[in-house]
Amino acid sequence: MEDTEKYPRQGLIMVVCAPSGTGKSTLISRLREEISNFGFSISYTTRAPRGQERDGREYHFVSRDKFIAMRSRGEFAEWAEVHGNFYGTAIKPIHDMLGEGKDILFDIDVQGALQLRKAFPNGVFVYLLPPSKVELERRLRGRGTDSEETIVKRMDNALGELKQAHEFDYWIVNDDLGVAFEQLKAVYYAGCTKPGLRPEMVADMINTWRDDV
């Protein structure tokens, strides 16, 4: 306890990616419910608010010109264009939360994850895998919400993402939800022990050896 208080750790970035239909949303929701230390990063977007959405709550809604100017100044840790609109995660609020010891959990696509890895190489990057192609397609069809065209597109996207799974630190197969959750939680706790989150601790301990000489 004494070492923990003397060397409070910096926050951890945890990024979770998966093909649609793998069960990522369920696992992330359970992780948020069980672990209270996750901060929330509000993204920027150029699309218009929908329904009851409010600026600064669901998103920071900005003009296309402002977004492009922020991007040109390097203010985004990751950004993407989706259906003609820009979405991005600002770097400064992330650094602020990490400095306060808050962890940040990202549920984003592979493109965004690889951008975040460049900006925050000390993070933990997890890729959730379906048990098989057959099972993934069964789950997508079982939802009963997607057209045949959409299902084919999601399966094609899944194959494209799987080809980039080697860029991630951990692979978790979501065959049994309970097992997959315990593995995801274990990855989080392991990530909290990364040396980069308490960079001074060992150096200071080494100095105590020198002081005794």
Instruction: State residue 131's pLDDT score.
Output: 94
pLDDT (tens place) for every residue of the chain, 213 residues total: 345 567 888 999 999 999 989 999 899 999 999 998 998 888 999 999 988 889 998 899 999 999 999 999 999 999 998 878 999 999 999 999 999 999 999 988 898 899 999 989 889 999 999 999 999 999 999 888 888 998 999 899 899 999 999 999 999 999 999 999 999 999 999 999 999 898 888 888 888 887 665
Instruction: State residue 170's pLDDT score.
Output: 97
Instruction: State residue 3's pLDDT score.
Output: 52
pTM of the full structure: 0.84
Residues of the chain with CATH 3.30.63.10: 40-100
Using DSSP bridges, classify how beta strands 124-129 and 76-82 pair: parallel, antiparallel or unpaired: unpaired
Q: What value does the CA radius of gyration of the chain take, rounded to a whole number of Å?
A: 20
Contact present, 208 and 164 (Cβ < 8 Å): no
Can you tell me the distance from the alpha carbon of 150 to that of 137, in angstroms, rounded to the nearest whole number? 11
Handedness of CA 111, 117, 123, 125 (dihedral sign): positive
Instruction: State residue 167's pLDDT score.
Output: 95
Range 1-37+103-213 classified under CATH 3.40.50.300: yes
Q: Which fold has domain 40-100?
A: Guanylate Kinase phosphate binding domain (3.30.63)
Can you tell me the distance from the alpha carbon of 172 to that of 122, in angstroms, rounded to the nearest whole number? 20
Instruction: State residue 1's pLDDT score.
Output: 37
Instruction: State residue 7's pLDDT score.
Output: 80
Helix (H, G, I), strand (E, B) or coil at 112: helix
Instruction: State residue 146's pLDDT score.
Output: 80
Residues of the chain with CATH 3.40.50.300: 1-37+103-213
